[in-house]
Amino acid sequence: MHEGGMVIRRLAWALFATVGTVAQAESLEDVTVTATPLGDTPLQSSQPVSVLRGAELDRRRAGSLGDALDRLPGVTSSGFGTAAGRPVVRGFAGPRVGITENGLDTMDASSLSPDHAVAVDPLGTTQVEVLRGPATLLYGSGAIGGLVNAVTDLIPSTPVRGLRGDALFAGDSASREGLASLRLRGGVGAEGGAGGSLNWTLGAFGRDAGDYRIPGNAVRDDPASASGRLPNSFSEGSGRSGGVSWIDRWGMAGLSHSALDTRYGIPAEDGVFIDLRNRRTEGLVEFDAPLPGIETLRLRSADVRYRHAEIEGDTGEVGTAFDSKGRDTRVEGVHAPVLGVRGAFGVHLRTRTLSASGEEAYLPSTREREDAVFWVGERAIGDGRLELGVRQGRASRTPDADSGRSERRFSPGSWSIGGLIPIAGPVALSAALTGSQRAPATEELYADGAHAATRTFEVGDGGLGKERSRGLEIALRQSAGPVRWKIGGFERRFSSYIAGFATDENGDGLPDRVDDAGSIANSVADPGAGELSRLAYRQAPARFRGIEAEIAWQPVASPWSLRGFGDAVRGTVEGLGAAPRTPPLRVGLSVDYAAGPWSGFVSVLRAARQDRVGTFETETPGYTRLDAEVAHTWSLGTNRLATLFLQGRNLMNEDVRLSTSFVKDLVPMPGRSLYAGLRIRM
């Protein structure tokens, strides 16, 4: 109790002593959150939402989705090098954080392990939305901790006149990376005319990066380990995409296809690399006012064929291969107000077959199925509003008959009630009370084997029940004027939290070290025996609580602005103490400048030492990261702009290790680097 209060007091003091950052520079009133069917803006939602787009998204682009978002309040990265960083939201990771592309599941293998990359092209996204807190009402079990939605323009939703596009050519000194991307958009036909319009998009990218530079030794407190560059941290990839849409007065229809191929090293394993292939096809049909009382009706579906192989570099043999084939389909409608309540209803259908093969396969081939119906609504009450929602679903996990594992069925449900209450002028209070249930993930039920990338031996529990939780969110915000701010707190209590915890089966007070077969070594008599830590999935009551704050100051008629943020989260599991891999307290500050052709920023992020660690975890030192950019933009003609930029990252060359990472003591993040490039828009 006293530790939690101290964290919150420290964060509040830091925020008022140093002005902290809002997610994007443009007006929040102009941004629509596509992950919500009612088309809310971040200021309208009682749930915390951050949106990256435009220039702010351009400056944050990175090799992984997690690294691109790690300056947002409540969001960090899983920290498995630069290629496989998955977003961690409020300390929740893996199967508790949903990753979607255009509102449909990526259906990759990134939730299974932090060394598995998210199969989303960071260079092809036009907007990234982060819903902090449960998004289970709309997206089901996999979003109990939050949701990250990557938005692309592969299916144009508005008519495109003429030929438009953008190109990027850039390089990074830390990894000797070179990258290039090109996106083109065009259309023919009358805008809004009776004949409708045909619109299309094409895109491609390529990138190649070597092992990245680190400020010290790879292994913490081991001067004999590699230094200078992190071995096996290379990454390379390419992608192609295209889409088409027909837009008319009745609505629109479209189809897109994308292909992603990438190879990257696993730094924690000498010579092992992942060869990833992803093929994704999306379809969309939307009707405007198809029936009386129905404002819109939309059908969206994605078909995904994903595969990655973990290859031994010295022999070329495949140690483990993961295949994921599935389809995610949503039917959503928005109805006109009934008794003053405007709402959205829908059906969500998701099926996937996940299989692992090879000598190190630790999961049986499993068919996953989730079906659900949902409704969310809102009602204006004076200048405020009330929000309601409910979802009921069915979920099943059906392992291969030869595995000897039993099928499991669940009926997860979720509900929410919240609202926004104006207090004085632009100041408003928002609050939300939620109840969420999550069906156990396949790996939590059926894992049984060595996982070399995280140096663990995972043991699932086929008897796990639903993960149940309730949460409260309260925030105070000022949404207009030269100074805008928001500060809020949350608490989430689980009656049956699921996690993999290090075991001590032999009672020697040390984490069990096991071999590839799971046999426990005698670590007292022979400390070097057993290369893997044994992790067993179990359920226990747990509580997570935290505080997040943002502030932005934009003086009238001034080219300067200040932005900042701060966050802290604390997780406790009954009987075990601190939740594993929890983010530290963080405070960030950014000074931005934009006048005429020149723009730039200087930002600093301070992460405190994380000394409140899970069972058998090590502490993580704090760090201060300094970044800066200067850019110059000039015109190439009508509606054509070119921007030359130079960005310095981690300019103080700090040894950055993330407490959210399984391999933080083995895999530091990159040291000082210069990132430069040319961006062209037309």
Averaged pLDDT of the chain = 89
577-668-314 Cα angle (round to 5): 110
C-alpha 409 chain-centroid distance = 27
pLDDT tier for residue 20 given thresholds of 50, 70 and 90: very low
* CATH number assigned to the domain covering 2-681: 2.40.170.20
- What is the Cα–Cα distance from 555 to 549, expressed in whole angstroms? 20
Strand, helix or coil for residue 12: helix
pLDDT at residue 44 is higher than 70: no
For 265-294, how does the pLDDT look when each residue is reduced to its tens digit (9 = 90+)?
999 788 899 999 999 999 999 999 999 999
Q: For the residues of 237-290, what is the DSSP string, one character each? A: EEEEEEEEEEEETTEEEEEEEEEEEEEEE-TTSTTEEEEEEEEEEEEEEEEEEE
- What is the Cα–Cα distance from 373 to 346, expressed in whole angstroms? 6
In this structure, of 274-283, 313-322, 492-501, 621-630, the range with the lowest mean pLDDT score is 313-322
Report the pLDDT averaged over residues 193-215: 92
| pLDDT score, position 163 | 92
CA distances from 392 to 135, 139, 445, 489 (A): 13, 11, 22, 27
CA distances from 427 to 431, 477, 479 (A): 14, 6, 7
Report the pLDDT averaged over residues 543-559: 94
pLDDT at residue 402 is higher than 70: yes
- Show the beta-strand stretches assigned E in 400-426: 408-410, 413-424
- What is the Cα–Cα distance from 99 to 65, expressed in whole angstroms? 10
Residues in the chain: 682
pLDDT at residue 341 is higher than 90: yes
| pLDDT score, position 529 | 62
Closest CA to 85 of 665, 662, 671: 662
Which residue type does 229 have? Answer: R
Which residue type does 606 have? Answer: R
Look-up: residue for tokens 């639903």? 466
For 144-155, how does the pLDDT look when each residue is reduced to its tens digit (9 = 90+)?
889 999 999 899
- What is the Cα–Cα distance from 669 to 175, expressed in whole angstroms? 11
Closest CA to 37 of 372, 375, 350, 341: 375
C-alpha 636 chain-centroid distance = 36
C-alpha 413 chain-centroid distance = 23
For 358-367, how does the pLDDT look when each residue is reduced to its tens digit (9 = 90+)?
877 889 999 9
| pLDDT score, position 505 | 81
Closest CA to 567 of 551, 553, 587, 581: 587
Cβ–Cβ < 8 Å for 424, 444: no
- What is the Cα–Cα distance from 656 to 468, expressed in whole angstroms? 35
For 65-89, how does the pLDDT look when each residue is reduced to its tens digit (9 = 90+)?
999 999 999 999 998 989 998 999 9
| pLDDT score, position 142 | 80
Extract the tokens encoding 363.
């999961």
400-401-407 Cα angle (round to 5): 75
| pLDDT score, position 16 | 34
Strand, helix or coil for residue 579: coil
| pLDDT score, position 595 | 95
Strand, helix or coil for residue 586: strand
Residue 13 host element (H or E): helix 2-17
| pLDDT score, position 527 | 56
- What is the Cα–Cα distance from 104 to 258, expressed in whole angstroms? 14
Task: Tell me how crowded residue 39 is: count the other CB atoms within 10 A of its CB.
Answer: 12
pTM of the predicted model as reported, rounded to 2 decimal places:
0.91
For 457-515, how does the pLDDT look when each residue is reduced to its tens digit (9 = 90+)?
999 999 999 999 999 999 999 988 899 999 999 999 999 999 888 888 877 777 888 88
Cβ–Cβ < 8 Å for 446, 407: no
Q: What is the 3-state secondary structure (H, E, C) of 121-146?
A: CHHHCCEEEEEECCCHHHHCHHHCCE
pLDDT at residue 629 is higher than 60: yes
